[in-house]
Amino acid sequence: MSWLFDFWRSSIGGKVTMAITGLLLFGFVLAHLLGNLQLLAGPEKLNAYAKMLADTGALLWVARIGLLAVFVLHVVTAIRLARGNRAARPVAYAKEATVQATFASRSMVFSGLSLLVFVVYHLLHFTFGVTNPEHYARKGAGAGGHDVYAMVTQSFAVPAIAIAYAAFQIVLFLHLRHGMQSLAQTLGLNHGRYTPMIRTLSFLLAALIAGGNLLLALSVQLGLVEVAR
Ligand code: HEM
């Protein structure tokens, strides 16, 4: 196992770890959005989807633990790489060469840590029912204990919550867009004629995911869905 640890600690091993865990997290965010879009189809659809997930039982727990492990590895490796970069150049450049570096690339650690704050808040909100127990209570009250529709619509009916979720989607967009460009770089695709295509694809995929989440966060405020009473 020590060769695996040595590989992880190497510079290229860290980048490969970021690429693999990033891809897995991207898959989760995409699948999560596709499932959550059932919100727009009404309570029966969303609640049936929630029940279907819950009914997978032990499998759901395996997926949750796997997701947590991937998430932790992504964050820990990112921090190690960021520290390594700074240690490699203890004295800052006199004139920063930021011609290539975009706003997003320089703020990758900041956007990543902001997403960490979002995920913790999101779990406290919808999974553990800590921040708004009155919304969480609605989940257990109807539809055989799977009234996720009531919980989500009651939540997004509160303007501050809808705005907070919407604001984090801007951060998610920046993080995903740059993450995909870094992934292409690690895979050795980011050169010559592929670069413009990779930039466009990263922009579109990130916009699709963040835009979809944004639509859900604002769905109640925009009158796209009815709030469960
Ligand atoms: C507006 C967009 C979103 C909505 C409506 C939404 C909705 C939900 C709901 C209802 C749950 C709880 C499921 C349950 O326990 O019954 C949940 C769990 C979760 N969400 Fe989201 N979510 C959104 C965006 C996101 C984003 C952007 C991320 C990641 C960056 C994320 C990560 C998670 C995670 C990690 C869980 C826990 C999964 C589990 O343990 O089952 N969500 N989400």
Is there a contact between 130 and 205 (Cβ–Cβ < 8 Å)?
no
Do the domain assignments include residue 172? yes
Q: Does ligand 1 come within 6 angstroms of the Cβ of 217?
A: yes
Q: Does ligand 1 come within 6 angstroms of the Cβ of 127?
A: yes
Residue 62 pLDDT > 80, yes or no?
Answer: yes
- How many domains are contained in the chain? 1
Give the C-alpha separation, 78 to 179, whole Å.
11
DSSP 92: P
Its domain, for residue 165, covers 2-218
pLDDT score at 141: 77
User: Which of 85-89, 120-124, 147-151, 212-216 is predicted least confidently?
Assistant: 85-89
pLDDT score at 99: 44
Count the residues in the chain.
Answer: 229
Q: If phi over 0 gives left and psi between -120 and 50 gives alpha, with beta otherwise, what is residue 79?
A: alpha
Do the domain assignments include residue 124? yes
* 126 Cα: distance to centroid of ligand 1 (angstroms): 7
Q: Does ligand 1 come within 6 angstroms of the Cβ of 218?
A: no
Do the domain assignments include residue 223? no
Is there a contact between 149 and 42 (Cβ–Cβ < 8 Å)?
yes
* 96 Cα: distance to centroid of ligand 1 (angstroms): 39
Atom of ligand 1 nearest to the CA of 64: 40
CATH number reported for the structural domain that contains residue 111 in this entry: 1.20.1300.10
Atom of ligand 1 nearest to the CA of 36: 5
Residue 109 pLDDT > 70, yes or no?
Answer: yes
Residue 12 pLDDT > 70, yes or no?
Answer: yes
Give the C-alpha separation, 136 to 158, whole Å.
14
pLDDT score at 174: 94
Residue 119's contacts (CB-CB under 8 Å, 6 or more residues apart) are 71
Do the domain assignments include residue 12? yes
Q: What is the pLDDT of residues 169-220, one digit of tens each?
A: 999 999 999 999 999 988 888 777 889 999 999 999 999 999 999 999 999 9
pLDDT score at 90: 52
Do the domain assignments include residue 226? no
Give the C-alpha separation, 122 to 20, whole Å.
24
Is there a contact between 162 and 220 (Cβ–Cβ < 8 Å)?
yes
